[in-house]
Each structure stands twice: as structure tokens, then as C-alpha cells.
């Protein structure tokens, strides 16, 4: 079971995409995002092949 954890992206899309690519490459089963995911365009970047838990704002 693999977990990916990240936080404080402040909607910097390049960094969000980099993290998501790494989670996908590692085949994470779960991703936990600890905050500051604000606009909906940033939410679209999260991994789709795993369980995702996140905190807005």
C-alpha cells in the first residue's frame, strides 16, 4: 500500500502536475492533500487512479 502526501501548493499548477506525475509513477494507492487547493481548475489535476482525500482552502 503506497501513500502520496502533499500540501501548500497554493494553486501552482506546474508543481501540482509534478506531484501528480510522481504519485502516478509510484502507483500510489492513496493520495492525501493537506490544504490550499482553492479553485476548481487545480482540483482537476489530482490523480484519478487512486483514493484521494483533500482539504480546500
pLDDT in tens, 13-48: 888 888 888 988 999 998 888 876 665 555 556 666
Confidence label for 57 from pLDDT (cuts 50, 70 and 90): low
Query: What's the structural domain count of the chain?
Result: 1
Q: State the Cα angle at 39 between 41 and 18, rounded to 5°.
A: 55
Higher pLDDT, 33 or 51: 33
Show the DSSP H helices in 1-57 as ranges: 13-25, 40-43
Domain range for 47 is 3-56
Amino acid at each position: 500500500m503506497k501513500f502520496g502526501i502533499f500540501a501548500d501548493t497554493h494553486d501552482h499548477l506546474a508543481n501540482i502536475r509534478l506531484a501528480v506525475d510522481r504519485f502516478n509513477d509510484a502507483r500510489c494507492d492513496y493520495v492525501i492533500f493537506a490544504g490550499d487547493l482553492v479553485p476548481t481548475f487545480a482540483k482537476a489535476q489530482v490523480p484519478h487512479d487512486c483514493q484521494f482525500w483533500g482539504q480546500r482552502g
